[in-house]
């Protein structure tokens, strides 16, 4: 949340820096004087006179500080004005509050996000979208990046993945021009969080000019909504300007294809309206647009109304839309939507709030049911399953721990009582008790899953011998640290002593502890070359233990386990040689395993 206090601290940072510089210089002067005094009294050496260059630098430094301090007074006055006006500059609803069962769409023009992902501007923008905006989908216009010229680590996908676990991204830029990494124009979008699970398709402008990109969401019974982010070229620049503007790029495209002479802005209007008309036949549409022209008085909004799209900021009673550019007096950006979509909240932030740039940030909260056809349910993360039904030791441990939890909390008796009392319609008291019972059962299942099995993901193949040596090694290391006087958990040492069979390890002398530790280190290092053969022996013992429980012949089960082990090893090799990458070219279609005789 942006408060007056936060804004003041953020804006007064340069002043604090200036004060620091002045203090440092004053301190340096004092130190020099002290040193001079010491030198006069003790060493009795004369101070060397300053050269002309040093004298000039000193005068410049003094003048800079005095000029900066004069500017500070003016800057402070401007700050007070900006802070007082910040509350008035908010248009519509505040972005800090977001209701349940709503989907937030966020849009702005950052005027370039830069080719370097480590810049402060990128970090600030992404962290705001992640932690403060509470958006479900965002679009950025005029990214000014040629994505094909960047490394994979600098791609938009890589930038987003550091802030969100679940997301879908799409970028668009002009493929027909090559004006360096910072090529003007282009857009990017991302669906994040739970909304990412509803994405069925992503796409971009078919002409390859990078004028727009879209993400399609599919809900219940193929209820579809397509969300666009678009950037319309600006007015024709003067002849003196560089030929790298978006207008010039599109004009060059028209000349190269020998099309009829036309304005690139008119071509954009015609193409986007044709696109909207086609999509509105079968689905709902949301269009986030930087039009580079007055949205309210221009012809563009009239055309949108004719197609069936309305301006989201005119459906609410918040007054006339403000300017959306820091130098402008009229709004040039807006979010349009089809009539079927229900709006809950809308807002436009002041300049300097939200994603960095010269345009204002804007958002619209839509009712989730109107966008997806139903409410959005939480999708749990796909974590690795600890319960393995093919291993009798694992599921026996799971049943044992769960049974202990059920007996401790008297769950069976309580459920029987509720069954006798419960009648339709169920009363509120019974509902609360049933919820409590369900929560306790869930906690029991979680604790049983946690205790039944540990997932081993080390480089050395796991076996029972390897586990015991690892525990012994850790025990003697911890005991040694405790003896030295380091802070080590006594409870951890007790647990390791029970697991290894070395009871009361703290009673051992220091020499015995060092000797035991060296022995374990030696045995551990000797086992590593033979870890794979030890792993096979461990799997054979596992198969023998499970054969009787599963009513399968021992040889047959050993063969099955060995085959799955081979496949696992081959997959590990392919993962090492072919790391994860976005796009085609590194997909593994088939994994072949050697036969036992080979």
- What's the pLDDT tens digit per position in 454-505? 665 566 788 888 888 889 999 999 999 999 888 888 999 999 999 888 888 9
pLDDT confidence bin for 48, thresholds 50/70/90: low
Maximum CA pair distance of the chain? 103
- DSSP secondary structure string, 358-385? SB--EEEEEEHHHHHSSPPPP----PPP
pLDDT for residue 333: 93
pLDDT higher than threshold 60 for residue 592: no
Strand partners, 104: 365
pLDDT for residue 377: 73
Tokens of 9: 């601290």
d(CA 144, CA 173): 8
What number is the average pLDDT over the span 14-39? 43
pLDDT confidence bin for 30, thresholds 50/70/90: very low
pLDDT confidence bin for 21, thresholds 50/70/90: very low
* Highest averaged pLDDT of the listed ranges 110-124, 262-276, 538-552: 262-276
Yes or no: say if 149 and 175 are a contact pair by the CB < 8 Å rule.
no
pLDDT higher than threshold 60 for residue 5: no
Strand partners, 359: 325
d(CA 79, CA 7): 9
d(CA 225, CA 216): 6
Helical packing angle, 392-408 and 411-421, nearest 10°: 60
* Highest averaged pLDDT of the listed ranges 40-44, 63-67, 467-471, 546-550: 467-471
pLDDT higher than threshold 90 for residue 334: yes
d(CA 521, CA 513): 12
Which residue from 187, 191, 181, 239 is spatially nearest to 209, judged by alpha carbons?
Answer: 187
Tens-place pLDDT, residues 391-435: 777 888 889 999 999 999 999 998 888 888 888 888 888 888 888
Query: In this predicted model, which residue has the larger pLDDT, 68 or 559?
Result: 559
Quote the pTM value: 0.58
Q: Can you give the residue ranges of every domain in the chain?
A: 4-88, 91-233+263-372, 400-452, 464-577
pLDDT confidence bin for 285, thresholds 50/70/90: very high
pLDDT confidence bin for 283, thresholds 50/70/90: very high
pLDDT for residue 74: 60
Which residue from 357, 215, 201 is spatially nearest to 285, judged by alpha carbons?
Answer: 215
Percent residues over pLDDT 90 in the chain: 29
Half-sphere exposure of 109 (CA within 13 A, CB side): 26
Would you report the helix, strand and coil content of the chain in percent, each value rounded to 5? 50, 15, 35
pLDDT for residue 44: 41
pLDDT higher than threshold 70 for residue 235: yes
pLDDT confidence bin for 142, thresholds 50/70/90: very high
pLDDT higher than threshold 60 for residue 335: yes
pLDDT for residue 97: 79
Least confident interval from 412-426, 476-490, 521-535, 566-580: 566-580
pLDDT for residue 379: 65
> CATH topology for 91-233+263-372?
Deoxyribonuclease I; Chain A (3.60.10)
Q: What angle do CA 124, 130, 135 make, to 5 degrees?
A: 120
Helical packing angle, 411-421 and 428-452, nearest 10°: 150
pLDDT for residue 39: 43
- What Å distances lie between residue 552 and 89, 387, 538, 539, 598, CA to CA? 75, 20, 18, 15, 27
What number is the average pLDDT over the span 157-183? 89
Percent residues over pLDDT 70 in the chain: 78
d(CA 103, CA 344): 9
């Amino acid at each position: 949340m942006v408060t007056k206090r936060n804004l003041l601290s953020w804006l007064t940072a340069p002043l604090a820096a200036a004060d620091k510089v002045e203090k440092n210089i004053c301190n340096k002067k004092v130190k020099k004087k002290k040193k001079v005094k010491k030198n006069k009294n003790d060493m009795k050496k004369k101070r060397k006179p300053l050269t002309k260059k040093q004298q000039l630098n000193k005068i410049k430094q003094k003048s800079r500080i005095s000029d900066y301090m004069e500017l500070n007074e003016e800057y402070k006055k401007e700050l007070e004005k900006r802070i007082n006006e910040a509350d008035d500059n908010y248009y519509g609803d505040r972005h800090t509050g977001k209701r349940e069962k709503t989907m937030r769409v966020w849009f702005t023009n950052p005027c370039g996000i830069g080719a370097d992902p480590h810049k402060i501007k990128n970090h600030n923008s992404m962290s705001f979208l992640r932690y403060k905006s509470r958006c479900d989908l965002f679009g950025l216009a005029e990214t000014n990046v040629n994505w094909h010229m960047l490394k994979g680590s600098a791609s938009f996908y890589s930038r987003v993945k550091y802030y969100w676990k679940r997301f879908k991204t799409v970028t668009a830029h002009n493929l027909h021009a090559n004006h360096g990494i910072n090529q003007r124009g282009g857009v990017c979008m991302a669906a994040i969080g739970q909304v990412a699970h509803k994405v069925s398709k992503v796409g971009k402008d078919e002409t390859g000019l990078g004028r727009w990109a879209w993400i399609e969401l599919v809900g219940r019974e193929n209820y579809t909504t397509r969300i666009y982010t678009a950037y319309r070229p600006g007015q024709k620049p003067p002849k003196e300007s560089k030929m790298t503007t978006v207008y010039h790029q599109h004009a060059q495209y028209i000349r190269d294809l020998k099309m009829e002479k036309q304005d690139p802005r008119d071509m954009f209007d015609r193409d986007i309206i044709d696109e909207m008309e086609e999509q509105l036949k079968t689905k709902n549409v949301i269009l986030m647009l930087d039009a580079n022209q007055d949205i309210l008085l221009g012809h563009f909004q009239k055309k949108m109304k004719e197609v069936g799209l309305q301006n989201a900021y005119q459906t609410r009673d918040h007054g006339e839309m403000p300017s959306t550019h820091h130098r402008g007096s009229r709004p040039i950006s807006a979010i349009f939507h089809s009539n079927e979509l229900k709006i809950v909240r809308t807002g436009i932030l002041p300049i300097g709030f939200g994603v960095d740039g010269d345009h204002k940030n804007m958002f619209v909260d839509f009712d989730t049911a109107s966008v997806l056809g139903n409410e959005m349910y939480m999708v749990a993360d796909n974590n690795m399953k600890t319960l393995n039904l093919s291993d009798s030791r694992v599921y026996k441990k799971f049943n044992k721990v769960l049974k202990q939890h059920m007996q401790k909390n008297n769950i069976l008796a309580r459920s029987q009582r509720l069954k006798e009392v419960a009648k339709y319609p169920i009363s509120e008291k019974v509902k609360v008790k049933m919820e409590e019972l369900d929560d306790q059962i869930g906690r029991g299942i979680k604790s049983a899953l946690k205790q039944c099995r540990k997932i081993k993901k080390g480089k050395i193949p796991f076996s029972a011998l390897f586990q015991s040596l690892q525990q012994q090694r850790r025990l003697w290391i911890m005991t040694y640290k405790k003896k030295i006087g380091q802070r080590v958990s006594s409870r951890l040492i007790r647990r390791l002593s029970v697991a290894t069979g070395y009871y009361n390890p703290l009673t051992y002398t220091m020499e015995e502890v060092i000797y035991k530790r060296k022995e374990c280190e030696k045995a551990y290092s000797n086992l590593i070359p033979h870890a794979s053969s030890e792993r096979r022996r461990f799997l054979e013992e596992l198969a023998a233990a499970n054969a009787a429980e599963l009513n399968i012949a021992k040889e047959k089960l050993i063969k099955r386990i060995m085959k799955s082990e081979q496949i696992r090893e081959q997959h590990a090799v392919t993962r090492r040689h072919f790391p994860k990458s976005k796009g085609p070219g590194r997909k593994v279609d088939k994994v072949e395993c050697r036969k036992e005789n080979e």
